[in-house]
Amino acid sequence: MLDSKRAVANALKLGLMVPSFNIPYLPMMEPVVRAVVDTDSFAFAAVARLEWTKFESKGLGPVIEEFRKWERPGYVRLHLDHVPVIDEDQLAVDYEGILREAGTLGYHSLMVDGSRLTLEDNIAATRKAVAIAHEAGIPCEAELGAVLGHEAGPRPPYEEIFRSGKGFTDVEEARRFLHETGCDWLSVAIGNIHGAVSGALKDQKKVAARLNIEHLRKLRDATGIPLVLHGGSGIQRTYVLEAIKNGIAKVNVGTEIRQAYEVALRETGSVAAAQEATYKRTGELIRDEFELTGTRRQVTE
């Protein structure tokens, strides 16, 4: 079986990356897998906890059942994205229980999100998550810094976030975090933001975010592990490609394909039409935005 950790490590070494496509609606799984196969690339299908609490992915079990219907192991692996210790509504989550269940069910990688905690508490929670993942024989992703967007209510203007560096991952904290947790991949904040998931905001077009590449290089040099870019939808293409050259080895995409699915379903009332819209947009991202067509063998061998 293809090792997810090795694939992401290969991407880092080759100056490529692995896209991770979030599945908030179960019918999106098939077109995402189909688009990855048809572009001869490698990617993750992913589900975050909020996608079964705020959308319709239904939970860990239904997602992996749907994945197994369409599974193509040489092309797509299943990732458990964002399991928060404290969620976007400021509620405590049984993150250890969720991570253990995912490992038992057969997910291929896990992510714990302690970014709403103090540094010390984030380190402690991540250390527990790493132990759970490694016991299951799979890699663990963590987050340090604040990738904003999932919280309810208005967020600061984007230019204010970028100019001030509010929530950016601190370089020395990243060095310590890696040393004390042993996480395999690290999600960093360098100007990227999540798409909103609450109320009418979830339908709005995302801000065309920028990335602080100089800050990214410092994080790369301080950690030496694959770094992850969350909130990949809407980031200006030149910044994403430059980030891939400077330590980003996994890019999460949710809003772009979710909105393609939702708009088509709303306009046509047809799940099949919504699936085709998802397929088209996923393929466009792989081919035109990320330039990953035909890279599967490089990443997986």
Nearest to 249 by CA among 281, 297, 216: 216
Beta-carbon neighbour count of residue 224 at 10 Å?
A: 11
Terminal C-alpha separation, the chain:
12
Which backbone phi and psi does 7 adopt, to 5 degrees?
A: -60, -45
Residue 4 one-letter amino acid: S
Nearest to 195 by CA among 54, 79, 289: 54
Distances (CA, A) of 204 to 111, 118, 132, 194, 196: 26, 31, 37, 12, 8
Distances (CA, A) of 165 to 168, 170, 212: 5, 10, 9
Question: Which positions are catalytic?
Answer: 81
Q: Which helix (H) or strand (E) holds 154?
A: none
Decide: 49 and 92 in contact? Cβ < 8 Å: no
Q: What's the CA gap between 203 and 161, in Å, rounded? A: 21
Decide: 191 and 166 in contact? Cβ < 8 Å: no
